[in-house]
């Protein structure tokens, strides 16, 4: 545990960093999206890293300053458990997803609307969904800490939380894309190895472990709530389908000229899966509240 003075200093530093980072985000957005010139150089042309750093800083500040973090989690908990706010929350997320899908199919040649482009609007929205899903599991972790019958095993939520937060960073900073470059240098002439996107060779085995963990954990935690299990398994199915689409993309779908359709289906499955995970968790929290 840090002394109170150090906590206060660290909290102030994180608060200042968040302000500066947010200013950088706004400036880059104005310059790249609205083509507003500035008389000074900007730290890059992509929003990805500043956006990822902002989310990391938000999480760290919530850890350093629990009172500040609790306010945010309390707001999010209200949005996903109170009936009127819940409808608004999920309605907004689904509307955002549908809007991005429509814009992708109408303007796929435009950099910021193509869902396959790392600096596109879809990337930031998908990142936000994963980050919110991670925060929802943090809320569940806290709530189960108040229940003596669940407190002992609530740590099992932590791997689930880490998966969501890592995928949020991966989505925003394109960590998986680095494997493509590494493996192209590692085995440039291995035809079979490069038949699919190279990062799949790393992520598919990891994803299998994640899927097994999620299935076993959800079946155990929600064994008396079949409706929640159904929602979560549908969400997981959408996530797994992303790897199927990625496996087909490089040498099957793209050469046929159906890349735009496949990308729309793949990114839509990823976003819808994240929303459904949050919906399943919100049902659990809502029912726990009523007990």
Using one digit for the tens of pLDDT, what is the confidence trace for 124-137?
999 999 999 999 99
Q: Quickly list H helices, 222-258.
A: 226-248, 254-256
Residue 64 in this model has a pLDDT that exceeds 60: yes
Which residue matches tokens 């947010």? 22
pLDDT at site 197:
65
- Residues 49-53 have a mean pLDDT of 95
Sign of CA dihedral 20, 25, 31, 36: negative
Q: How far is CA 227 from CA 174, 233, 283, in A?
A: 34, 10, 9
pLDDT at site 201:
75
Residue 205 in this model has a pLDDT that exceeds 60: yes
Compute the half-sphere exposure of residue 103: CA atoms within 13 Å on the CB side of its CA. 16
Alpha-carbon gap, residue 203 to 198, rounded angstroms: 9
Least confident window among 118-122, 196-200, 220-224: 196-200
Q: How far is CA 269 from CA 38, 73, 129, 204, 233, in A?
A: 38, 26, 12, 17, 13
pLDDT at site 151:
86
Of 279 and 34, the structure prediction assigns the larger pLDDT to 279
Residue 176 in this model has a pLDDT that exceeds 90: no
H or E, element range at 27: helix 4-32
pLDDT at site 113:
94
Q: Quickly list H helices, 107-156.
A: 121-144, 148-151
Q: Give the pLDDT band (50/70/90) at residue 190.
A: low
Q: How far is CA 248 from CA 39, 81, 108, 206, in A?
A: 46, 39, 19, 19
Q: Residue 191 has what DSSP assignment?
A: T
pLDDT at site 135:
98
180: how many CB neighbours lie within 10 A of its CB?
14
Cα 193–Cα 195–Cα 197 angle in degrees, nearest 5: 85
Q: How far is CA 153 from the centre of its chain?
A: 25
Rounded to the nearest integer, the mean pLDDT of the chain is 89
Q: What confidence tens digit (pLDDT) does each residue in 110-169 have?
A: 889 999 888 899 999 999 999 999 999 999 999 999 888 888 899 999 999 999 999 999
Q: How far is CA 275 from the centre of its chain?
A: 10
264: how many CB neighbours lie within 10 A of its CB?
21
Q: Give the pLDDT band (50/70/90) at residue 255.
A: low
Do the Cβ atoms of 51 and 172 come closer than 8 Å? yes
Compute the half-sphere exposure of residue 236: CA atoms within 13 Å on the CB side of its CA. 23
Q: How far is CA 222 from the centre of its chain?
A: 23
Category of 210 on φ-ψ map: left (φ > 0), alpha (ψ -120 to 50) or beta? alpha
Do the Cβ atoms of 111 and 102 come closer than 8 Å? no
Alpha-carbon gap, residue 84 to 94, rounded angstroms: 16
Of 62 and 263, the structure prediction assigns the larger pLDDT to 62
What are the structure tokens assigned to 118, written together? 């790392």
Q: What confidence tens digit (pLDDT) does each residue in 74-110 have?
A: 999 999 999 889 999 999 999 999 999 999 999 988 8
pLDDT at site 194:
52
Least confident window among 33-37, 179-183, 258-262: 179-183
What are the structure tokens assigned to 99, written together? 């809007």
pLDDT at site 117:
86
- Residues 6-19 have a mean pLDDT of 95
Q: Residue 154 has what DSSP assignment?
A: G
In percent, the amount of the chain with pLDDT more than 70 equals 88
H or E, element range at 261: helix 259-290
């Amino acid at each position: 545990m840090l002394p109170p003075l150090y906590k206060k200093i660290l909290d102030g530093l994180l608060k200042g960093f968040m302000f500066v980072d947010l200013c950088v985000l706004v400036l880059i957005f104005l310059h790249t999206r609205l083509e507003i010139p500035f008389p000074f150089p900007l730290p890059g042309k992509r929003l990805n890293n500043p956006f990822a750093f902002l989310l990391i800083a938000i999480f760290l500040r919530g850890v350093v300053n629990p009172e500040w973090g609790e306010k945010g989690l309390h707001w999010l908990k209200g949005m996903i458990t109170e009936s009127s706010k819940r409808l608004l929350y999920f309605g907004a997320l689904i509307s955002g997803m549908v809007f991005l899908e429509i814009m992708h199919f109408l303007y796929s040649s435009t950099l910021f609307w193509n869902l396959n482009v790392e600096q596109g609007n879809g990337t930031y929205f998908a990142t936000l969904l994963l980050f919110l899903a991670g925060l929802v599991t943090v809320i569940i972790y806290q709530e189960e800490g108040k229940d003596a019958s669940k407190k002992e095993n609530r740590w099992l939520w932590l791997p689930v939380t880490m998966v969501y937060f890592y995928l949020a960073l991966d989505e925003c900073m394109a960590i998986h894309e680095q494997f493509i470059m590494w493996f192209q240098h590692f085995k440039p002439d291995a035809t079979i190895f490069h038949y699919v996107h190279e990062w799949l060779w790393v992520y598919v085995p990891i994803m299998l472990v994640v899927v097994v963990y999620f299935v076993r954990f959800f079946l155990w935690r929600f064994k008396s709530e079949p409706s929640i299990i159904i929602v979560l398994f549908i969400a997981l199915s959408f996530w797994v389908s992303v790897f199927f689409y990625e496996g087909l993309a490089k040498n099957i779908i793209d050469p046929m000229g159906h890349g735009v359709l496949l990308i729309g289906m793949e990114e839509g499955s990823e976003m819808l899966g994240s929303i459904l995970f949050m919906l399943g968790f919100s049902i659990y929290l809502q029912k726990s509240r009523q007990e």
